[in-house]
Amino acid sequence: MGETAIRVPPVVPGTDPELAAIEARILAERGRVSLLYQVLLNSAPIASGWEQLLTAVRSQTLVPADLRELIILRVAVLNRAPYEFDAHVPHARVAGIGDVQLAAVREAELSDVFAPRERLVLELTDAMTREVVVSDALMARVRSEFDARLTVEIVTTVAAYNMVSRLLVALNVGH
């Protein structure tokens, strides 16, 4: 097995009747069973729980789409997960993220092209992804900008996409 090969076999949708209900939910939410979900289908409980969590994060929170997509793109960059980055560029564009921001989110340091709220969320994303521990000072700035619900939803978005990117990288999905 080469270094770039997926480390577990993808499950071809429609080949296991026991997975039909999970595949149907994934199709309903995503419109397709992506390579990521084909890998996850090796474990029905994980695929099911993953789909529910990520659906909540992507479409049931109050996090504005532009902030959500900046978080996802930044996590993908920091964790060296190009599959995730590429998968979310179209979503980012729909959310209003332009070429300048797409280029800037790839840079090691955060640039001034981001609006103050975007920069704050990206600082939180960097802290959670790079350091894990978030300083009291940074969290106080987050809490001064966002209420408790949005704070939890933003933090969960960062955490969830760290989970996504780390699985993708560990299993060589999309490399």
d(CA 79, CA 155): 17
The reply to whether 5 falls in a domain is no
Task: Assess contact for 73 and 105: CB atoms under 8 A.
Answer: yes
CA angle 35, 152, 156 (to 5 degrees): 20
**Single pTM value for the model:** 0.94
The reply to whether 8 falls in a domain is no
The reply to whether 2 falls in a domain is no
In a shared domain, residues 107 and 140: yes
In a shared domain, residues 31 and 72: no
Phi, psi of 145 (to 5 degrees): -95, -35
> What digits encode the pLDDT tens for the residues 112-132?
999 999 999 999 999 999 999
Phi, psi of 148 (to 5 degrees): -60, -45
In a shared domain, residues 81 and 142: yes
In a shared domain, residues 114 and 43: no
DSSP-based three-state secondary structure for 6: coil
> What digits encode the pLDDT tens for the residues 31-41?
999 999 999 99
> What digits encode the pLDDT tens for the residues 54-93?
999 999 999 999 999 999 999 999 999 999 999 999 999 9
Q: How far is CA 73 from the centre of its chain?
A: 7
DSSP 43-101: SHHHHHHHHHHHHHHHHSS-S-HHHHHHHHHHHHHHTT-HHHHHHHHHHHHHTT--HHH
Final residue in a domain of this structure, among 30, 59, 88? 59
The reply to whether 111 falls in a domain is yes
Count of structural domains within the chain: 2
